[in-house]
Chains A and B, each alone.
Chain A
Amino acid sequence: MYRYDEFDEALVRERVAQFSDQVQRRLNGELNEDEFKPLRLMNGLYLQLHAYMFRIAIPYGTLSSVQLRKLAHVARTYDKGYGHITTRQNMQFNWPRLEDAPAILSDLADAQLHAIQTSGNCIRNTTADQYAGVAADEIADPRHYCEIIRQWSTLHPEFSFLPRKFKIAVTGAEEDRAALRTHDIGLRMRRDADGNPGFEVMVGGGLGRTPVVGVTIREFLPEEHLLSYLESTLRVYNQLGRRDNIHKARIKILVQSVGRDAFARMVEEEWAQLRDGYLTLPQEELDTIARYFAPPPYETLEDSPPELELWQSTSPGFAAWMNENVAAHKQAGYAIVNISLKPEGGVPGDITAEQMDVVADLAERYSFSEIRATHEQNLVLPYVRKLDLMAVWQGLQQAGLATANIGLISDMICCPGLDYCNLANTRSIPVAQEISERFADLSKQRDIGPLKIKMSGCINACGHHHVGHIGILGVDKKGQEYYQITLGGSAENETTLGNIVGPAFSAAEIGDAMETIVDTYLTIREEGESFLETYRRVGQQPFKETLYAAH
């Protein structure tokens, strides 16, 4: 994985010193809150409901075991013993003290971690397919390009004060696991007729109060032009994006208002000025970055060791975990292990310091010391020998990390909601906990099959509810928590926005409503049909009828 060069090291250390000084000036009154707020936000430090919140960048979701241990150290030393994985593959701490912020950043810098551009109207952490580099269906490892984007976008002087925040996602695989069309820019790797790598460029996707599915503005962009084309796109947005209304400031509003073709034309015109200039990526630089992400020293192994079959036949728990949490690897004899952070009754995405240490241990022993964070708020061990799967499962099980529910109904995306967030209208965590307890029976979950519930505690949609197969949006009705349900959303290859099914349900009713939706699906599904396929076949009516029958 990528390691800092002297420029990265110097930049991060300078930022620690700079922010330490700013914190000190705030504490002794040289800076007031209005002056300090933009400075702390540039360093990922928010003031939330109960305390400050620190958002730490995990570039494209890739972590070393040393870095995960450092995050565990921060959780243990400066927080309340746990962290929270976010939908940008970052980690948040909910209880840091302002006076500890310099020490936290300094400790993180020791492990090549930072909080730069995890907030503010700049280019945020670029996210990637969590299976980058190991997916069986991958054209190329997207992290090479994510790292190039990270270097280009870090403290980019022209794009540090955009009209609004800006989010980029990249995948190298056929299956979209990075929610590309919900991003300001989504990049999907392609090859041209001669086999040269490049990207399909999508722009103008986004969730929030105005959900929009991104549109393709270029079918194929050769890889060497990645930065000049991104710079051109950002330049058009920076010049024309609205700054008069925060709710209309994202690029999606600009693309919608001028139309896809006109927007694409403006980008191409800008690009005509920039292409083949200093932003063209030299092959030697591409090769240098690629070397950081070289595959680990895989062993030559048989792909289906007989031990695996034996373990599956003798241990139902292991077999279930294999089925749900272990994914195909491109290297024979290896597997991708998903670690669910959605235990029954747990807080989605939360992980304790002790669990972080266990995952770091397992990564060191069985996954070439590498871990991934996913935008669905789980972790991944990307390089596990199939012969080690039993040992990994046992290690995870002892730490309460072996819930076999990846992609099932209890594997929910859930924002922190009103339990932590200053913007939220309602709580989302207790609703997620209730749902996971109602559907605790894993055999029932497997019978239900793939079903993604995504939940947000307010219209800002941090929990991606618009693209949940079932989406739940918390709304405040005269001081009471209510929950609006959408059906049929998806952030996968055919990205769609869910449709509101009807009037919102109270906190006391929302659990029953989820059971009604699932029961309706189980009644009307055809052989082998997933929830989303059933919904797309029958539409809302059957669900509406059962949900509101008693009303």
Chain B
Amino acid sequence: MYLKAITANRLRDGRVVYLSEAGNWSQSLEGSRLARDEEELQSLLDQAEVSVLRNEVVAPYAIDVLELDSGYLTTRCREEIRSTGPSRRTDAA
């Protein structure tokens, strides 16, 4: 199994967030708490569900993550874009 991180959108502003090692929601994938087996994954998903009930985040789900020397890397294009933002956009021109 790939390593798994938990991502969601923050309720108040919709921003992409990740469940962090500290148990908070962070806008950075780095520092995410990673699940290495099914049991750990279920624990993270349970924790995320508590955040849903607390109205902190919307629609959490697990994503595959690679742990490299340079840091964490998502494996799918969609998650890479969620993590780093639109490829090119007008406000960044």
Select the stretch in B10-18, B30-38, B40-48, B65-73 that faces chain A.
B10-18
| B88 contacts A50, C-beta separation under 8 Å | no
Given contact pairs A50-B15, A98-B11, A420 touches B86 in the complex (Cβ within 8 A): yes
Residues of A within 8 A of B90 (CB): 81-82, 346-347, 350-352
From known contacts A347-B88, A347-B90, A479-B76, infer whether A97 and B14 are also in contact, taking CB-CB under 8 Å.
Answer: yes
**Least Cβ–Cβ distance between A426 and chain B, in angstroms:** 8
Chain B residues with CB under 8 A of A80: 89, 91
B41 smallest CB distance to A (angstroms) = 20
A28 at the interface (CB under 8 A from B): yes
What is the chain B residue whose CB lies nearest that of A31?
B55
- Residues in A with CB closer than 8 Å to B76 are 479
Q: Is the CB of A28 within 8 A of B14?
A: no
**Complex contact B87–A50 (CB within 8 A):** no
Nearest chain B CB to A327 CB, angstrom units: 26
**Given pairs A47-B9, A80-B89, 10 additional interface contacts (CB within 8 A):** A50-B14, A50-B16, A51-B14, A51-B15, A82-B89, A99-B13, A352-B91, A427-B81, A427-B87, A479-B77
Q: Are B91 and A430 interface neighbours, CB within 8 A?
A: no
Of residues 14 through 33 on chain B, the ones whose CB sits less than 8 Å from some CB of chain A are 14-16
Which residue of A47, A479, A480 contacts B58 across the interface (Cβ within 8 Å)? A47
| Bound-complex Cα distance A284 to B84 (A) | 57
Q: Does A9 contact B (CB under 8 A)?
A: no
**Which residues of A are found within 8 Å of B14, using beta-carbon distances?**
47-48, 50-52, 96-98
Q: Are A51 and B13 within 8 A (Cβ)?
A: yes
Residues in B whose Cβ lies below 8 Å from that of A81: 90-91
Cβ distance A84 to chain B, nearest Cβ, rounded Å: 8
Chain A residues with CB below 8 A from B89, complex form = 80, 82, 94, 347, 350, 419, 429
Nearest to A83 among chain B residues (CB) is: B90
Residues of chain B with a CB closer than 8 A to A52's CB: 13-14
With A27-B12, A346-B90, A352-B90 as contacts: A49 and B58 at CB distance below 8 Å = no
User: Is the CB of A418 closer than 8 A to any CB of chain B?
Assistant: yes
CB distance from B55 to the nearest CB of A (A): 5
Check B82–A50 contact: CB distance below 8 A: yes
A29–B82 Cα distance when bound, in Å, is 26
The verdict on B52 contacting chain A, using a C-beta distance below 8 Å, is yes
As a 0/1 sequence over residues 438 to 481 of chain A, the CB contacts with chain B under 8 angstroms (1 = contact) are 00000000000000000000000000000000000000100111
Tell yes or no: A433 within 8 A of B by CB: yes
Number of chain B residues whose Cβ lies closer than 8 Å to a Cβ of chain A: 26
Given the complex, which residues of B lie within 8 Å of A476, measured CB to CB?
Answer: 77
In contact, A27 and B11 (Cβ under 8 angstroms): yes
Closest CB in chain B relative to A348 CB, distance in Å: 11
B13 and A98 contact, CB distance less than 8 A: yes
CA distance A481 to B59 in the complex (A): 25
> Known contacts being A82-B90, A99-B12, A430-B87, is A49 close to B59, with CB within 8 Å?
no
A33 at the interface (CB under 8 A from B): yes
Q: Interface digits, A42-55 against B, CB 8 Å rule (1 contact, 0 not)? A: 00000111111000
Q: B52 near A50 (CB under 8 angstroms)? A: no
Q: List 18 A-B contacts (CB under 8 A).
A: A28-B55, A33-B58, A49-B78, A49-B81, A50-B14, A50-B15, A51-B9, A51-B13, A51-B15, A98-B14, A99-B12, A99-B13, A346-B93, A418-B78, A419-B81, A427-B77, A429-B89, A479-B77
Residue on B nearest A46 in the bound complex, by CB = B14
User: What residue of chain A has the Cβ atom nearest to residue B91's Cβ?
Assistant: A80
Shortest C-beta distance, B60 to chain A (Å), equals 11
Produce 1/0 per residue, A1-44, CB < 8 A to B: 00000000000000000000000001111000100000000000
What is the bound-complex CA distance between A479 and B12, given in angstroms?
Answer: 31
State whether A27 and B81 are in contact (beta carbons under 8 Å apart), knowing that A52-B14, A352-B90 are contacts in the complex. no
Q: Establish whether residues B86 and A50, one from each chain, have CB atoms under 8 Å apart when the complex forms.
A: yes
CB distance from A34 to the nearest CB of B (A): 10
**Closest CB of chain B to A148's CB: distance in Å?**
36
Question: Which listed residue, A51, A82, A426, A433, touches B88 by the CB 8 Å rule?
Answer: A433
Whether B12 contacts A97 by the Cβ 8 Å rule is yes
**With a CB–CB cut-off of 8 A, which chain A residues contact B9?**
47, 51
Report A-chain residues with C-beta under 8 Å of the C-beta of B11: 26-27, 98
A97 to B9, CA, bound (A): 11
Q: Which of B82, B88, B93 contacts A49 (CB 8 A)?
A: B82
Report the minimal beta-carbon distance from A44 to chain B, rounded to whole angstroms: 14
- Interface members, chain A 496-551 (any B CB < 8 Å): none
Shortest A81–chain B CB gap in Å is 5
Can you list, as one digit per residue, whether each of A89-133 has a CB less than 8 Å from chain B (1) or not (0)? 000001011110000000000000000000000000000000000
For the complex, give the distance between the alpha carbons of A35 and B18 in Å. Answer: 24
Alpha-carbon distance A429/B12, docked complex (angstroms) = 27
Bound-complex Cα distance A116 to B87 (A): 30
Q: Which of B13, B77, B91 is A481 in contact with, Cβ under 8 Å? A: B77
Contacts of B12 in A (CB 8 A): 27, 97-99
